[in-house]
């Protein structure tokens, strides 16, 4: 790779790459995101490459092993451009068929198309699929069309043009103004105005100044930061470069957890390529501006997403938050120097704002929250995956229009947003707009963007205990309210779930939660009781059913339920008897079967295999 000496060089290179890519008649983008790799897309890629060679198509068809496309449930995903044909659940057996039919003859293979689970209609093109239709993928959309390990791909789609625009005579104050007008707020969960952070870091005394990109995403089930850094690392680098130019920093770090192997590998490749091209390092594009980035791999502690704990971990100390309210990291962060810390998604938004202008960006979203937000939509919905939606969209639209509703048409009970520190929003509030302030108002939070849909078969006490247990293990243990409080909360919730709870314990739980919220040292402890507080607020009847009636309304908590067979519905097929691992079912063929309660371990396998809905929980 030749080092670029000026901004003109970059533009020339861009034209050359676009010209070179015109030689390809078709481009096949195979998803190499974490979800699709788990489905085996890596071996699929190798087999496809081999097959292309055999068909002598290597110079006509370009295979891209791209980043995450978002629709992880349908993986491995393959998109054939320029038509935009969307194939889902592709396996190695389909390769020859795809090459001979679609790539050579131009026919569409019906069996690989995505079928709308609601209407049963088959969709040919990516743009028609309802999952993508309702989204606004300004940040995440580029993922599917580039190879993250190839800087040329990123340059071809207009990459680093925002950097050129900035270096071509934008004043740092002008950039801060642009970010201010765009209304960009921190995507890590706090929602702090990005421009304010940048400005105070720029004005802070001290040299050098550091830039940190926070990719220590640890929420169970959330993976948008990971997918962005895996699928489009140059976008994050470009954002950081613009930030560095604005703040006057020369050194940056990407803090990424070690458990994200492709994220740090791809980011490392991207950094090396950018360095070789002169887009990172000394004298970037011949403008005299210097900035370099290093990758720091974290040990996988959830608390290290907290800014002061992250800084401690970066310095090589134990990942513990420090308690200094009067000093913000922008004044005294890494090695007590001014440090500007932003989330991956925040950095990725920066080049988009600079390219399209603050006015365009601020048109998306609500009064207080601008732009889009990537959520990881999981739980009891038909379409799970990563969705990027404009701020202000209602929860209902996300769950029903994009997610397609619940799989069996059951009623939605609650939606949990914001990861383990967020709260549960009841279904009666499905119409609230999703933005930073509205979610906080109802007792939840935006967080980094986890969104778990729960239906009638979810026990809210069990959900609260799950998150409390997670946080209990992830708490750093420094401060008493968080360490002891979470341990006690877990104990009380376990008591309630096991049927040993009392009404006083519910009160104690509430009292404890309020104290933890006020007294804890860092954000983890302050937000940890959210799941308990919100479920107590909206689903108190479930708690009461557990302690007073000793019943679990959702039929989840094993100690409070019994399985039985409805003799009228049972046909005596014997399926349950054969499948019961504990031999707890008796009965003659074609006669109603009975569950022996002493032997029953409440595993639920009889219920899963019964075709006549004869197994009931009470």
Which residue ranges make up the site for other proteins (CB under 8 A)? 301, 303, 318, 320, 322-327, 472-481, 483-488, 491, 504, 508, 511-512, 514-515, 518-521
Instruction: Give yes or no for a contact between 395 and 431, defined as CB atoms under 8 angstroms apart.
Output: yes
| In the complex, minimum distance from the CB of residue 256 to other proteins, in angstroms, rounded to a whole number | 20
Minimum CB–partner distance for residue 323 and other proteins (Å): 3
Cβ atoms of residues 424 and 460 within 8 Å? yes
State the nearest-atom distance from the C-beta of 556 to other proteins, in Å: 24
**Closest approach of other proteins to the CB of residue 474, in Å:** 6
Q: How far is the CB of 460 from other proteins (least distance, A)?
A: 23
Tokens found for residue 402: 């994009």
Considering beta carbons, is residue 392 or 485 the nearer one to other proteins?
485
User: In Å, how far are 147, 270, 277 from 2, measured between CA atoms?
Assistant: 19, 15, 6
**Separation CA 66–CA 147 (nearest Å):** 5
Strand 412-417 relative to strand 424-426, pairing = antiparallel
Comparison of 335 and 582: residue with beta carbon closer to other proteins: 335
Of the two residues 18 and 327, which places its CB atom closer to other proteins in the complex? 327
Identity of the residue, 314 or 454, whose beta carbon is nearer to other proteins in the bound complex: 314
Q: Which is nearer to other proteins, 62 or 478 (CB)?
A: 478
Q: Which is nearer to other proteins, 205 or 428 (CB)?
A: 205
Residue found under tokens 């914001």: 418
Nearer to other proteins, 227 or 520 (CB): 520
Distance CA 217, CA 474 (A): 13
Of 4 and 479, which has the nearer Cβ to other proteins? 479
Q: Do residues 210 and 253 lie in contact, with contact meaning Cβ atoms separated by under 8 Å?
A: yes
249-282 in b/e form (b: 16+ CB < 10 A) is: bbbbbbbbbeebebbbbbbbebbebbbebbbbbe
**What gap in Å lies between CA 382 and CA 392, rounded to an integer?**
22
In angstroms, give the least distance from the CB of 437 to other proteins. 17
Ranges assigned E (strand) in 164-304 = 210-215, 251-257, 281-284, 289-298
> Minimum distance from CB of 505 to other proteins (Å)?
8
Q: How far apart are CA 234 and CA 274, in angstroms?
A: 8
Residue placing its CB nearer to other proteins in the complex, 309 or 341 = 309
Least distance from other proteins to the Cβ atom of residue 557, Å: 20
Find the shortest distance in angstroms from Cβ 469 to other proteins.
10
- Of 161, 433, 214, nearest to 343 by C-alpha is 214
Residues β-bridged to residue 27: 62, 81
CA dihedral 50, 53, 54, 57 (to 10 degrees): 130
């Amino acid at each position: 790779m030749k080092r670029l000496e000026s901004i003109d060089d970059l533009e020339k290179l861009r034209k050359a790459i676009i010209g070179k890519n015109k030689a390809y008649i078709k481009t096949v983008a195979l998803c190499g995101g974490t979800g699709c790799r788990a489905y085996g897309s890596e071996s699929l890629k190798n087999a496809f490459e081999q097959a292309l060679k055999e068909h002598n198509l290597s110079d006509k068809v370009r295979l891209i092993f791209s980043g995450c496309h978002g629709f992880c449930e349908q993986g491995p995903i393959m998109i054939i451009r320029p038509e935009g044909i969307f194939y889902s659940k592709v396996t190695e057996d389909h390769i020859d068929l795809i090459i001979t039919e679609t790539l050579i003859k131009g026919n569409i293979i019906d069996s690989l198309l995505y079928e709308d689970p609601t209407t049963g209609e088959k969709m040919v093109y990516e743009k028609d699929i309802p999952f993508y239709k309702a989204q606004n993928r300004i940040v995440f959309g580029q993922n599917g069309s580039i190879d993250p390990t190839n800087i040329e791909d990123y340059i071809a789609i207009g990459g680093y043009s925002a950097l050129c625009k900035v270096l071509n005579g934008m004043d740092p104050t002008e950039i801060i103004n642009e970010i201010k007008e765009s209304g960009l707020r921190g995507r890590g969960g706090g929602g702090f105005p990005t421009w304010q952070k940048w400005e105070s870091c720029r004005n802070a005394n001290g040299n050098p100044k550091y830039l940190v990109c926070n990719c220590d995403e640890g929420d169970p089930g959330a993976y948008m930061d990971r997918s962005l850094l895996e699928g489009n690392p140059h976008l994050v680098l470009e954002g950081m470069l613009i930030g560095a130019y604005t703040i006057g920093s020369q050194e940056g770090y990407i803090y990424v957890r070690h458990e994200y192997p492709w994220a740090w590998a791809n980011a490392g490749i991207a950094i090396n390529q950018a360095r070789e091209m002169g887009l990172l390092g000394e004298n970037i594009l011949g403008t005299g501006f210097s900035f370099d980035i290093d990758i720091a791999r974290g040990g996988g502690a959830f608390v290290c997403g907290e800014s002061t704990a992250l800084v401690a971990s970066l310095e090589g100390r134990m990942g513990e938050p420090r308690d200094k309210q009067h000093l913000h990291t922008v004044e005294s962060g890494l090695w007590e120097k001014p440090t500007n810390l932003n989330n991956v998604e925040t950095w990725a938004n920066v080049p988009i704002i600079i390219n399209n202008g603050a006015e365009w960006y601020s048109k998306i979203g609500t009064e207080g929250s601008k732009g889009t937000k990537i959520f990881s939509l999981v739980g009891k919905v038909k379409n799970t995956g990563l969705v990027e939606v404009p701020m202000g969209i209602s929860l209902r639209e996300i769950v029903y229009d994009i997610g397609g509703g619940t799989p069996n048409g059951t009623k939605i009970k609650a939606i949990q947003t914001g990861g383990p520190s967020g709260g549960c929003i009841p279904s009666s509030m499905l119409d609230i707009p999703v933005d930073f302030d509205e979610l906080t108002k109802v007792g939840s939070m935006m967080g980094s963007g986890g969104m778990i849909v729960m239906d009638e078969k979810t026990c809210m006490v069990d959900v609260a205990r799950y998150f409390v247990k997670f946080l209990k293990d992830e708490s750093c243990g420094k401060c008493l309210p968080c360490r002891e409080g979470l341990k006690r909360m877990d104990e009380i919730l376990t008591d309630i779930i096991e049927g040993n709870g009392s009404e006083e314990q519910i009160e104690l739980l509430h009292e404890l939660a309020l104290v933890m919220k006020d007294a804890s040292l860092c954000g983890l402890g302050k937000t940890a009781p959210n799941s308990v507080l919100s479920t107590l607020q909206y689903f108190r009847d479930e708690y009461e059913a557990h302690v007073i009636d000793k019943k679990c309304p959702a039929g989840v908590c094993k100690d409070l339920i019994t399985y039985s067979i409805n003799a009228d519905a049972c046909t005596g097929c014997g399926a349950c008897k054969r499948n019961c691992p504990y031999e707890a079912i008796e009965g003659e063929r074609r006669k109603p079967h009975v569950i022996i309660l002493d032997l029953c371990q409440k595993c639920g396998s009889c219920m899963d295999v019964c075709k006549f809905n004869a197994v009931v929980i009470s």
